[in-house]
A and B are shown apart, each in its own frame.
Chain A
Amino acid sequence: MKNFVWFLALCLCACQHPPLAYITNQGDNTVSVIDTQQQKVTQTITVGKAPVGVAVSKKLQRVYVTNVEDGSISVINSATQQVIQTIKVTGSPVGIALSPDDQTLYVADWYSDRILAINTAHTEQTRELMVGKAPAGLVVSLDSKVLYVAARDSNQIVVIDTQTLSIQKRIDVGTHPFGVALSRNGKQLYSVNVYDNTISILDLTKPDKQPDLVKVGEHPYCVVTNTDDTKLYVTNTQDDTVSVIDLASNKLITNINVGMTPEGLSFNKALNEVIVANWGTNNVSIINAATDKVTATIKTGDKSRAFGQFMLQAND
């Protein structure tokens, strides 16, 4: 039955457009667009200098890319794969996330310790908030009301009310949190603690509960769950592996060898796979989430990072 559902999902998806992965390539200032059904790069788009973060909107047909070394955001039309706008921001934009209602684009300005909230309909309308040292990963709650920011050098997750753009609280996590993610059901938040080699698992329904800690590999960066929130995937940048954590027991299941220095990763729901950007080997690894084996490696551009939710798919 489960297989049949997957089969249906695959068909539905195939009839619409293929799931696309947008991979930022720091070293050659491009984004590789991967058709994940064909498992090949179909376009290479030139963006700003040293692109790192990425966010996608199916509804708006937009892909947003942070170019940290020239302080800009490239806006790509995903229907034409053309850059249609470049938003200048003073500072060093790294992390980027879109609210699920597609109204606000959040950008973390690394050296200026602030968050920008950009109105996607009127990009000149920008609000900002000082949050903490070296803001990195961002994620927005399912109802778009709360923004979570990993303040890397404050060792905290900063919880922000998006309506008033004010800080609700600060949650201490491990040392140097970088990537953050929410479970699909929105009830758990994951923080990747780079210097501790751990993941903090926060139960958002029980704010007083101490976060669970799970040990992963060396210098972890980013995290994502699978479709039904049973497993967590974490890139370990200095072990060249992806850790798989069982979310029922919060225990490490296995470490999967991928390319060198894996950074960003996203879940491709339509094909039940994890796509991992390998900074050190200029490619992506595709992990089958049923078997947790690497099924393909696809060449991208120089120093692939893909920091953010980079999968554009029909059923999101």
Chain B
Amino acid sequence: MKKLFTLIALAALSFNAAAHGPSPQKVEKTIVIKAAPAKVWAVVKDFGNMHAWHPAIASTKLEKKGEETFRTLTLKDGGTIYEKLRTADDADMKLKYEIVDGVAPVADYNSFMQVTAGPGAGESTVTWVGRFYRTYKLNPPIPAGQDDETAVKFVTGVYDSGLANMKKVIENSK
């Protein structure tokens, strides 16, 4: 957990809509939660309440701009991440979102979270997948902190700590 905050703190604010890197990175994590899929999906799809289950997030501010939905995540160390909701599909129990701006050391990040039933009766599986690039957008040498490793480590930390705590929060609630 502490590592995660350090990573966020280290991250240079270098978001930009121009050219991304040539090699996309991926993090894929799953967790099994002892709760009905509908209950888990209700938590996952609640775009404006990520702080309710993610331990690195202090608060979430939801914002509507016409048809579009955004959220600002304020991290416990003070940094913010601005994200856009792409879709929340009740039939597939799949939420898609992207990072627009913020302190995360990644570029062109898009992600989905999906809830499926099983493996056991009364259990749900949450899959969280992100695709993104490192922040450095020039030929090598690649500076430390802007490389693939930093980006992958950051996202891995976010997913691991988030899913573990989501499980705890849901399983402990009645």
Contacts and interface: CB of A to CB of B under 8 A. Distances in A.
B24 interface: yes
Given A153-B18, A261-B131, A52 B23 contact: yes
B22 A68 contact: yes
A26 B21 CA distance: 13
Question: Size band of the A side of the interface?
Answer: 20 to 34
Given A238-B110, A260-B129, A134 B19 contact: yes
Interface of A: 26-27, 50, 52, 68-69, 71, 90-92, 94, 110-112, 133-134, 152-153, 238, 260-261, 279-280, 303
B140 to A, nearest CB: 8
Given A111-B137, A111-B138, A92 B22 contact: yes
B167 interface: no
Nearest to A26: B23
18 contacts: A26-B24, A52-B22, A68-B22, A69-B22, A91-B139, A92-B22, A92-B139, A94-B22, A111-B22, A111-B139, A133-B19, A153-B18, A153-B19, A238-B96, A238-B110, A279-B24, A280-B26, A303-B24
Interface string B23-56: 1101000000000000000000000000000000
B135 to A, nearest CB: 14
Interface string B97-135: 000000000000010000000000000000001010000
A84 to B, nearest CB: 25
A238 B129 CA distance: 12
Contacts of A303: 24, 26
A261 B139 CA distance: 25
Interface residues on B, range: 10 to 19
A310 to B, nearest CB: 18
A152 B19 contact: yes
B119 to A, nearest CB: 19
Nearest to A69: B23
Nearest to B142: A69
Interface of B: 18-19, 22-24, 26, 96, 110, 129, 131, 137-140
A50 B22 CA distance: 9
A260 B110 CA distance: 13
B20 to A, nearest CB: 9
A110 B140 CA distance: 12
A249 to B, nearest CB: 28
B131 to A, nearest CB: 6
Given A111-B138, A238-B110, A50 B129 contact: no
A153 B129 CA distance: 27
Given A111-B137, A111-B138, A134-B19, 18 more contacts: A27-B26, A50-B23, A52-B22, A68-B22, A71-B140, A90-B139, A92-B22, A110-B22, A111-B22, A111-B139, A112-B139, A153-B19, A238-B110, A279-B26, A280-B26, A280-B129, A303-B24, A303-B26
A44 B129 CA distance: 27
A206 to B, nearest CB: 32
A185 B107 CA distance: 39
A53 B26 CA distance: 19
Contacts of B131: 261, 280
